[in-house]
Amino acid sequence: MDTIILIMQAATLFIFGTMGEVLSQRSGVLNLGLEGMMVVGSLTGFAAATLSGSPWIGLAAAMIAGGLMSLIHGFIVITLRQSQVVSGMALTIFGLGLTAYVGKHFLMVGAPPRVPTIVSGITPLLFLGLALVPLTWFVIYRTRFGLIVRAVGEDPEAADTAGINVARVRYICVFIGGMMAGLAGAYLSLAYSPMWREGMTAGRGWICIALAFFSMWRPAMVLIGAELFGGLWILQFKLQGMDIPVISSIFTSPYLLMMIPYLATVLIVTLVMSNEKLRKRIGGPAALGVPYERSS
C-alpha cells in the first residue's frame, strides 16, 4: 500500500510535466526546455513559499515562472521561427545554470512551508494530477479549442486557411506547457521532497519529454506511462538500498533502469513513425518541430 502511494507520488510529477508537454507538442511545438523550466519552478516555488510562508503562493509563482520562461521559447520558435531543438536545449542549460547560481542563497534555508497533506502523506496535488487526465482528454478531444490545437499541430496550413491564428494557438499551448512544468518543479520542492538542492529535478524533465512521445500524445497513455515510470523511479531507490550481488546488479543498476523510458520511447517512436497507417490513425502532430510560415 505504502509503495503504491510512493509510486503515485512520484508519478504525479511526471503527469504534470508530460501533460504540458503533450499539449505543447499537440500544437506542433517541441519543448526541450522542460527540464530547465521545471528546475526554475522548483526554485521559484521554494523561494516564494519560504518568503511568503504559503506553499500555495509558491506553487502559483512557480507556474508563472515556468510560463514566462516558455514564452521565451515561444518567441524564439513561433515568432522568430528558429530551431525548436536549439532553443529548448538552450533554455534547459540556462534554467539549470541560473538556478544553481541564484539557488545558493536558499541552500541553507531549511524546509519550506510544504503543501499540506490530506490523508497519510497524500497532497491534493496528487488528485489534481489524476484529475488532469480526463480533463486534458476532454479538452483535446471534445472542445473546440482541442480541435484547433490538433489541427494546428497536424496541418498548420489547413488550419490557417480555416481562419485560425496558428501562432496564437501555439503560444497558448506552449505557455500552458511551461506553467505545468513550473508546477511540476514546485511539486518537487514543496511536496515531494520539500527542500532546495541544485539540479534537484535530476533529469525528470527529460523523462517527461520521453513520456510525451511514449504516450503518443494521449492523456490516458500519459497516466499509464507516468505510473510505470513512477514505479521504476521508486524501484531504483529501493534497489540502491539493497545489497545485491554484482552479476544481477547489472540488471538492477539505477542507470540502466532509468534508461527504460527512453528505450521504450525509441521503440514506440520507431513503431509509430514507420507505420504510416498507424500514424494517421493516431493523428499525432505531424507538424511537430516545423515552424509555420504562410507562403506569400
**Nearest partner of 10 among 238, 228, 264, judged by Cα:** 228
Q: Give the whole-angstrom CA distance, residue 268 versus residue 84.
A: 22
Look at residue 122 and give its three-state secondary structure.
Answer: strand
HEC states along 79-97? HCCCCHHHHHHHHHHHHHH
Q: Give the whole-angstrom CA distance, residue 208 versus residue 148.
A: 24
Quote the least distance from Cβ 131 to another protein, whole Å. 18
Pick the closer one to another protein by CB: 89 or 272: 272
Pick the closer one to another protein by CB: 155 or 198: 155
Quote the least distance from Cβ 45 to another protein, whole Å. 32
**Nearest partner of 142 among 85, 196, 219, judged by Cα:** 219
Pick the closer one to another protein by CB: 142 or 238: 142
Quote the least distance from Cβ 275 to another protein, whole Å. 11
Quote the least distance from Cβ 218 to another protein, whole Å. 13
Pick the closer one to another protein by CB: 163 or 245: 163
Pick the closer one to another protein by CB: 45 or 153: 153
Cell numbers representing residue 84 in the block: 525548436
Quote the least distance from Cβ 125 to another protein, whole Å. 27
Secondary structure (DSSP) of 246-282: HHHHHHH-HHHHHHHHHHHHHHHHHHHHH-HHHHHHH
**Interaction site with another protein (CB under 8 A):** 141-144, 146-148, 150-151, 154-155, 157-164, 276-277, 280-284, 286, 294-296
